[in-house]
Structures are given as C-alpha cells and as structure tokens.
C-alpha cells in the first residue's frame, strides 16, 4: 500500500532509488530530528502535525498533542494555492484563459467607475494579486449572499492601483475568479472544486465550509483541510500535474503556476509571488525553488523543487507562533535531503 497514514502514527519510511542504485534501509534519512522539533513545537503550540512527501511517496505522517495528520482544520490563506489550481484546471480545458479580459464573463466589470481598467482585469491578475482591486472590503465574507451576488457587489469597489502594475496580497480578487469558474461551468464553486481537485486527489476531508456551509465560499481563506489531504495536492504539483496516475493539471500549467509573477510589477513585499503561492528564489540562478502558502492560523504547506519534497505543518496556534518551528523544520529537512537538479525549473 502506498499510504497507510492515519491519526498520530508515523506510517511509513519509503525507500527510493538514489544515484542509480537501489536504496537500502541505511539510505533512508534519519527522521529522528524531525520528531525532536515537533515535540518541542507541540509543547509550545498545544499540538501540531507534519506530513512529508518525497519522490511520490509519503515518508512521514505524525501528530503531536491535540493535532493529528488527518484532522480537518481551517487553513486560512493556504486556501489560495488550492483555489488557484482548481481555476487552472479550467484553463487546461480552454474554459478560462489566463490573459483574456474577464469582463466577457462578468459584464459588470465594464460598468461603473474606471471601466477601462476593470474591463481589462484577467485571471492572471486575480491569482497573482496584481488586479488593483482592494484587498479586503466590508462584508466580503457575508454568508447570507451567494458567490454570484458577492462578486457583482465586489466589482463596484474602486481601484486602489492600476491593474497589472502593483502586487498587493488580497482576498477579494479570488471571489471574482471563483464566480468566473461558476459561469463557464454552470456549477457552484463547491462542485467545481470537488470534481477537479478533491475527488482526483482523494481529499475527502477538504471543503470550503468555513466557518460553516455557505453559498459564498471564500476562495482565499475559507478552506478546511488536513495535513494528509493537502499533502496529496503537493505531491501532484511535484509530479507535474498527476496523482496516482490521474492527470489533474498539465505539466505546462504546473510550470506556469510555479513561476514568479511579480518580477515586472511594484510590490509591497520583497518575497515574490507565483499563482496562489509565495516563492523563494535560488540566489545563484534567480529561479523559484521553494513555494509556500501559509495561513494565519498556523497551517503551512510548502514544496522544495530541488529536493522533490513536499511538507505540510499543521497547527491551530497561529502563524506567528508556528513560524520559528517551520523555519527550523525547513533547516533540518535541507540537511536530510540532498538537492538535485530542479525537475521543471519555472522560468
């Protein structure tokens, strides 16, 4: 069996083929240092879990304290990465385009103030936070509205910056992207996500019902998932769009998703951004090699292209409290796994 992970048990250490030779148990990395970090993290945070995937296998799935790897919890902004992928499946099929004006699907983008600006907003701008729309507005999260109603109202807010010129991390723009998905599929966002991401990736405990069932799902922050579920998504990205033999995204769109989208814009953050995720650049090449989409509640997923490694650290204690332990885990993992040439270096 490929995965036997559940609860708080370390489920498997998978042998890999290293440097052309069949691995032995001696070749498997010693994961005891990870246990030590997580034990200290749980003492400070009340509980945490970590899942590691490497070369298509689950190496580690363990929980400490009051958090287990299969616990479904609110992930806050870690939702952005998953939502972006779901939208890109529609690009794969030709139902949406990254660089076509969305006003052809959402006519109200051509109405009101600054019509020329709004009419030119594209999906790429929404997913890379360069649309120029406000980050957050009153009633953005109103559960009494449908996504269709909310998107039309959000489109009435004035621009803060010119579209395509400034990066500003935001929640609001992804609601417009979600509504465009509903228009081209004729299905509610929950169904779009279930069919295109949750089912093919086996993410049974993942949905947009945060804080509860709603017709106005929050694509940017409203996801509930587990470390195990989310690790399937990371494994798909590392496998260039496939999971257990099922295609979810094309390799070209995975590469596009994992590309620095903010090189040519003004940004309030020094860290560059891809589509739905932050990226860390290799100082030698300037190419993105690590991607992450941390949530404010302490849920922190990332992938390391140089090591073909994905990891999900989960806690509910908050991002500030979790941050030092995530940094320590990344340092430990950097020492345990030897960097190899990037499988598909994004441009």
- CATH for 44: 3.40.710.10
Is residue 177 a part of any domain in this protein?
no
Predicted TM-score (pTM) of this structure: 0.89
**pLDDT above 50 for 330:** yes
d(CA 329, CA 315): 14
Judge contact between 302 and 286, C-beta under 8 A: no
Is residue 105 a part of any domain in this protein?
no
pLDDT tier for residue 285 given thresholds of 50, 70 and 90: confident
pLDDT tier for residue 346 given thresholds of 50, 70 and 90: low
Mean pLDDT (the chain) is: 87
The pairs formed by 150-158 with CB atoms below 8 angstroms and a separation of 24 or more are: 150/175, 150/179, 150/216, 151/106, 151/175, 151/176, 151/178, 151/179, 152/106, 152/108, 155/106, 155/108, 155/109, 155/111, 155/112, 155/118, 156/108, 156/112, 157/133, 158/113, 158/114, 158/134
Is residue 126 a part of any domain in this protein?
no
Is residue 41 a part of any domain in this protein?
yes
List the one residue out of 209, 238, 230 whose CA is nearest residue 295: 230
Is residue 204 a part of any domain in this protein?
no
| Number of domains the chain contains | 1
Is residue 10 a part of any domain in this protein?
no
Is residue 179 a part of any domain in this protein?
no
Return the minimum-mean-pLDDT range out of 15-19, 196-200, 240-244, 270-274: 15-19
pLDDT tier for residue 135 given thresholds of 50, 70 and 90: confident
Is residue 161 a part of any domain in this protein?
no
Residue 179: CA count within 13 A, CB half-sphere: 26
What mean pLDDT comes out for the span 151-180? 90
Q: For residue 27, what pLDDT is reported?
A: 59
What mean pLDDT comes out for the span 275-281? 95
**DSSP notation for 243-296:** ETTEESS-HHHHHHHTS---TTSEESSSS-B-SSSEEEE-TTT--EEEEE---T
**pLDDT above 70 for 16:** no
In terms of residue numbers, what domain contains 307? 17-77+223-336
Q: For residue 263, what pLDDT is reported?
A: 87
Question: Percent of the chain at pLDDT above 70?
Answer: 88
What mean pLDDT comes out for the span 257-281? 89
């Amino acid at each position: 069996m490929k995965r036997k992970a559940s609860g708080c048990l370390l489920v498997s250490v998978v042998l890999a083929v290293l440097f052309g030779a069949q691995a032995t148990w001696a070749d498997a990395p010693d994961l005891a240092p990870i246990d030590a970090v997580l034990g200290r993290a749980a003492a400070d945070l009340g509980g945490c879990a970590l899942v590691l995937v490497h070369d298509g296998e689950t190496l580690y799935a363990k929980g400490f304290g009051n958090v287990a790897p299969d616990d479904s919890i609110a992930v806050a902004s870690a939702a952005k990465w998953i939502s972006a992928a779901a939208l890109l499946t529609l690009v794969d099929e030709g139902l949406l385009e990254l660089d076509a004006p969305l006003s052809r699907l959402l006519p109200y983008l051509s109405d009101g103030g600054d019509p020329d600006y709004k009419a030119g907003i594209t999906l790429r701008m929404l997913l890379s936070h360069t649309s120029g729309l406000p980050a957050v507005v009153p009633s953005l999260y109103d559960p009494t509205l449908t996504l269709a109603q909310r998107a039309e109202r959000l489109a009435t807010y004035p621009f803060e910056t010119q579209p395509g010129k400034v990066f500003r991390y935001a929640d609001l723009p992804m609601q417009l992207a979600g509504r465009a998905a509903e228009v081209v599929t004729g299905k509610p966002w929950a169904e779009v996500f279930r069919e295109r991401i949750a089912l093919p990736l086996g993410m049974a405990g993942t949905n947009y019902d945060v804080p509860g069932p709603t017709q106005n799902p929050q694509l940017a922050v409203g996801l509930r998932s587990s470390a195990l579920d989310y690790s399937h998504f990371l494994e798909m990205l590392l496998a260039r769009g496939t999971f257990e033999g099922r295609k979810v995204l094309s390799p070209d769109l995975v590469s596009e998703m994992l590309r620095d989208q903010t090189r040519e814009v003004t940004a309030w953050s020094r860290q560059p951004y891809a589509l739905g995720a932050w990226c860390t650049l290799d100082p030698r090449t300037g190419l993105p090699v690590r991607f992450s989409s941390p949530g404010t509640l302490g849920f922190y997923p990332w992938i390391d292209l140089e090591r073909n490694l994905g990891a999900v650290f989960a806690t509910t204690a908050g991002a500030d409290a979790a941050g030092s332990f995530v940094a320590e885990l990344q340092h430990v993992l950097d020492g345990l796994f030897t960097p190899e040439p990037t499988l598909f270096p994004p441009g």
